[in-house]
Chain A
Amino acid sequence: MVRLKDSLEIRNLAVDVDGRHVLKDVNLMIEKGETHVLLGPNGSGKTTLLLSILGLSRYNIVRGEIIFKGKDITDLPTHERVKMGIGIAFQNPPVIRGVSLGTMLNICMGKKTAEITDEAVKLAKELNFSEDFLTRDVNYGFSGGEIKRSEIMQLIAQQPNFVMLDEPDSGVDIENMELIGRMMGKLLQRDLIPSKREKMGLIITHLATILDYIHADRAHVMLKGKIACSGYPREILAGVRRNGYEGCIRTCQENNNNTNVTNCNYNKV
């Protein structure tokens, strides 16, 4: 088996959640410098895939493997995966009472202090947060948009090599969308020329808006626990817009006969 350094590879992954088979047979390869988007209807298994890569305990891997930077991480606890360079922006992170957003930033930066550091303040400003906001209990009473910005801010503090973003654009107003898009771009080194990029990303989105800010390298459509088709983001998205998710897959199957650009794993429906 070929194991590429500086890549994330998922082979034949099957995952159960609370006894339900959510992911059936997922194959995915993200190489150094690439950002992929993950599309698909609710309940198709997108979040499950991200949280399985993260290694949360509810996600029971029944088959397959996850290889990161050439190492099989399938059985590693979450914090060790994080130390290897995996990071995530959650869709619905929990409130932790008595733990401030500033403390979370310190934790992300590997600092063992409860005090609000200059670096944290500087970062907060970039994300349009006041210094005062850093003293608030993390996620407590945050608006939808504040949660998105807070999650991305924590990732910037953490500087992971592989960035997962679970719907970073949902519930965000236009003003903040631009900011979030810009910050995501920075996080994923999209401001650099492709050959200089090292960071990898996997972004779940329902809205195409984010693609105006992040010119992703590839898009995948997830359906019923499998990656049904993959291809150029614009092309896939146009297909989804025109024909819905199921329709998109048909299109991609047809395309698959003519070209190798878009390939389809959704062989037997």
Chain B
Amino acid sequence: MSDKYSSNDKKDEDYKEDLLKVGFDIEEKNRAGSYLQVNHSVSVERSNIEDVEILNTVDALKKYDWLEDYWWKAVSPDKDEYTKEAEINQNYGYFIHVKPGAKVDFPIQSCLFISKEGTHQNVHNIIIVEEGAEVHIITGCSALHGVNNAFHIGVSEMYVKKGAKLTFTMIHLWGPEIFVRPRTGVIVEEDGIYVSNYVCMNPVKDLQMSPVTYCGKNATALYQTVLYASEDSKMDVGSVIYLNGENSKTEVISRTVARDNSEAIVRGNIIGKNKGIKGHLECRGLMLSDGAVIHAIPELRAETADADLSHEAAVGKISEEEIEYLMSRGLDKEEAASVIVRGFLNVDIKDLPKQLEEEIQKKIDLSAAGI
């Protein structure tokens, strides 16, 4: 384990359980490589296979001149005050490079962790998946329990080259006092596939993000988002997909549960610009309390006569009929509600670490108990 940047009093092992909750296994069981950053310190940057390089972006920029061609190319530093802040005060971030044609069997894991009160963590990440390569990256962003007043800005630029496939699973587990601003741009080249899974089940003070994906010819972008807004959380999460290339397509699926006094704004925006493009947005919300808000904003914009864009949005409560159907099979009311919420949030994410699945499960069971 590299500790050349480590200036933490604590060792990574001390955070083992916290890291596991967002899918980061420090023992690296079934992992192709790891990147761990705690506050402003890079703690692990290691690839276990030849075809993948994992570094922090500061060293990577020094090592490779060509990386300039990818730096601030999918996201503009002038986008907003947060990207500007990340440009001026960057604290590392990961560089993951998958060589052409490499099919990486196990996921690569990364974690951006905040352990200290008052931390402003501004990372800038670059992922490049070269032609014909395939990889799954699981990234967990989390703060140590009890940390107040932290701020996380994460700029991520992802490049999915011709015929390549990137599955990017991001798990957020912040805290009720953490302010979060991810800024993501994804460029998917011809025949490339980008699959995004995003899970945020725990309270957060204020989270706002709207990753932008640009699809080339025949490219595909799939988004699955699971949000569980509770307490006083404010979440504003969207996906913007430009279908720039001919026959490019996208599907954006989101499931949002809101309770207590939380507010969840769920956006989706598909812009169709070329022949044969196809896009669908599916946005479903489940309301568990009167004090909560779900605001679904699906948007479609066609700039070609040959567009096929659609959306469906539905926000509602747990159906009494479904509860009673389950009760007639022997479940009590709480158990029935729990099964329904679980089903509602049941999106199929491949290779999700077991601990993470259990964590999500626990959260659902706990929440259904209050209905």
Contacts and interface: CB of A to CB of B under 8 A. Distances in A.
Interface of A: 54, 56-57, 77-79, 82-83, 87-88, 90, 93-94, 96-99, 103-104, 107-108, 110, 137, 154, 158
B325 A94 contact: yes
A158 B325 contact: no
A57 B330 CA distance: 15
Interface string B322-360: 101111111111001001101111100000000000000
B329 to A, nearest CB: 5
B319 interface: yes
Contacts, number: 65
Interface residues of B, number: 22
Contacts of B68: none
Nearest to B361: A114
Contacts of A154: 329
A57 B325 contact: no
Given A78-B328, A96-B343, 10 more contacts: A79-B330, A79-B331, A82-B330, A90-B328, A94-B322, A96-B339, A98-B344, A107-B330, A108-B330, A137-B343
A87 B330 CA distance: 9
B320 interface: yes
B329 A98 contact: no
B321 interface: yes
A88 B329 CA distance: 8
A77 B339 contact: no
A107 B327 CA distance: 10
Given A98-B342, A98-B343, A103-B339, A88 B330 contact: no
Closest 9 CB pairs of A and B: A98-B343, A98-B346, A99-B343, A78-B327, A79-B327, A82-B330, A94-B321, A79-B332, A107-B329
A42 to B, nearest CB: 20
A54 B328 contact: yes
Nearest to B332: A79
5 contacts: A54-B328, A78-B328, A82-B328, A82-B330, A83-B330
A78 B343 CA distance: 22
Contacts of B344: 97-98
Chain A binding surface, main DSSP class: mixed
A98 B226 CA distance: 13
A57 B324 contact: yes
A103 B333 CA distance: 17
A258 B327 CA distance: 46
Contacts of A103: 339, 343
B329 A90 contact: no
A57 B329 contact: no
Interface string B284-298: 000000000000000
Nearest to A105: B329
B329 A82 contact: yes
B345 A158 contact: no
Given A56-B324, A78-B324, A98 B331 contact: no
B342 A104 contact: no
Contacts of B329: 82, 104, 107-108, 154, 158
A90 B321 CA distance: 12
A97 B321 CA distance: 13
A88 B319 CA distance: 19
Given A57-B320, A103-B339, A107-B339, A98 B345 contact: yes
A90 B322 CA distance: 12
A56 to B, nearest CB: 5
Contacts of A104: 329
Contacts of A158: 329-330
Interface string B40-69: 000000000000000000000000000000
A218 B228 CA distance: 53
A175 to B, nearest CB: 27
A93 B339 contact: no
A26 to B, nearest CB: 20
A88 B328 contact: yes
A77 B340 contact: no
